[in-house]
Structure 1
Amino acid sequence: MNLLAIDTATEACSAALGFDGKIIERSELAPRRHAELILPMIESLLAEAGLARRDLDGIAVGRGPGAFTGVRLAISVAQGLALGLDLPVVPVSSLAALALDAPDDVAHRDAPILAVIDARMGEVYTGAFRRTAEGLVEAISDEAVGPAEKWILPQNPQVHEAQWCVVGSGWDAYREALAARLPASPSFADGKRYPQARAVLRLAAPRFARGEGAAPEAALPVYLRDKVALTLDEQRAR
């Protein structure tokens, strides 16, 4: 199965292609340049694999949360390609893709994962996950957006005394507030990691195999909030 995946929800712009049991990818930290980069990345991947667009069997897309313009871009590109090629689409949580980038070695395999993306305006997108037997991740709480100091530890006894892995830009932005909400110091923390299309592809592949691809118009963005920016009065109050 030839699968294309894209994610542009954060500062990272990335595309990945799965074919012949391999994954190749392109990724670049390029704020405000995603629109000019994503299609050339896709064409570069197809050329490297010796495939044409018509050889694709499905498209996976990071559905957010993240930057409004970035999330909209990824969804729009995925829908446009899928409509033109009559392909199914699988939307994947960008927080889940970020969580999949947490360490998977023996020391960290059983650690719960907190994926955090800086949402600006004093808030953070959060998602809590755990590893599955297949080496992927599954959510253990609802994704949310809000002040880091108000993040609530999932109501799961197994995580209340655990050392967490924390990944994502929200850690660098709100390190002290998030650390205060955890039961212990993280066993691993990296605020320089972003959702990547390779992870989107890995999470989507089993769903494609089960026939869970949806019509392009059913691939919808997830923003978690409606407000894009602070008003002038709110900015002055900060």
Structure 2
Amino acid sequence: MPELLAFDCSTDTLSVAVQHGDRVIARTQAGGAQASAALIPLIHELLAEAGLTLGALQAIVFGRGPGAFTGLRTACAVAQGLGYGADIPVLPIDTLQAVAEEARHATGAAQVLAVLDARMDEVYAAACDTAAGHCEAPRLMAPEQVQVPPGFLLAGNAVAAYGERLPADAPRHACLPTATALLRLAPAMLAAGRAVPAAEAQPLYVRDKVAQTTAEREAIKSAAGATQA
């Protein structure tokens, strides 16, 4: 088995894991705004417990998105920095594929519709064939717009966040994209040549108006101030 470091910061839970041979060491803790300060110390802690150095790793695996904007930037920046400094490749993996893998591991489901809470009253969704290791491109939609194909398991943290607004007739499994799911996905992806140089790692933003929304809010505030003046 390859020596790997994996982490996901795409939700309010920070998940980190190290694989050393057949041994996997994993930790989860509060993420969100705390992820940027907590991630690197937790990585060093797990590497030390595994008896590994960064230079001994074959790759750094990270959840590239979709998910929380700040968390995705944190994960990508840390993967880039560590990978560049240790001269090792990085492997970006879609968070919805990690959700589907976590659901498969827990339930045995071969077909999963992964749904993550996107905030702003929306969800990220992607249909995944876990046997083939393939997921469709993630989409952003209202919970009421989610359609679960026959025979698919509905899985992710949106199950709890929007339970009554999602299709009621589909089987469900609440779960998150975890670092251990990333580790299970990584060997096949590495063998397929999916790793990239650290400098080429990029987060996956499905909501393309995140930065613009901030600017729009500032514009609205400015306009309101001008009106009051």
TM-score by length of 2: 0.84
Q: Is the 8 A contact 2:104 2:110 kept in 1?
A: no
Q: Paired residue for 1:138?
A: 134
Aligned to 2:176: 194
Partner residue in 2 for 1:165: 153
Tell me how far 1:3 sits from its aligned partner: 1.0
Is residue 115–residue 124 contact of structure 2 (8 Å, CA) maintained in 1?
A: yes
* 1:3 alignment counterpart: 4
The within-5 A match list for 1:79-228 is: 79-104=80-105, 108-110=107-109, 112-132=111-131, 137-139=133-135, 141-153=136-148, 159-160=149-150, 162=151, 164-179=152-167, 184-186=169-171, 188-190=172-174, 193-228=175-210
1:152-186 per-residue CA deviation (whole Å, 9 max, x = no partner) reads: 45xxxxx43x2x32222212222223215xxx331
Q: How many Å apart are 1:101 and its aligned residue?
A: 1.3
Deviations for 1:77-136, whole angstroms, at most 9, x for unmatched residues?
00001111111111000111111111547xx53552121111111111111112216xxx
Distance in 1, Cα, partners of 2:110 & 2:131: 11
Per the alignment, in what secondary structure is the counterpart of residue 181 of structure 2?
helix
Q: Which amino acid aligns with 1:224?
A: V
In structure 1, the gaps of 5 or more residues are 154-158, 234-238
Partner of 1:65: 66
- Matched residue pairs, number? 214
Within 1, Cα distance between the matches of 2:137 and 2:164?
22
Shift of 1:76: 0.3
Amino acid at match of 2:116: I
In 2, the alpha carbon distance for the partners of 1:200 and 1:219 equals: 16
Secondary structure of residue in 1 paired with 2:189: helix
Query: CA 1:151/1:214 → structure 2, altered by over 3 Å: closer, same or farther?
Result: same
Contact in 1 for aligned 2:32/2:71 (Cα 8 Å): no
Whether the aligned pair in 1 keeps the contact of 2:90 and 2:195 (CA below 8 Å) is yes
Bigger fraction of residues in helix = 2
Partner of 1:156: none
Checking the alignment, whether the CA contact within 8 Å between 2:154 and 2:170 is kept in structure 1 is: no
In structure 2, list runs of 5 or more residues that go unmatched. Answer: 221-229
Query: 3-state DSSP class of the match of 1:33?
Result: helix
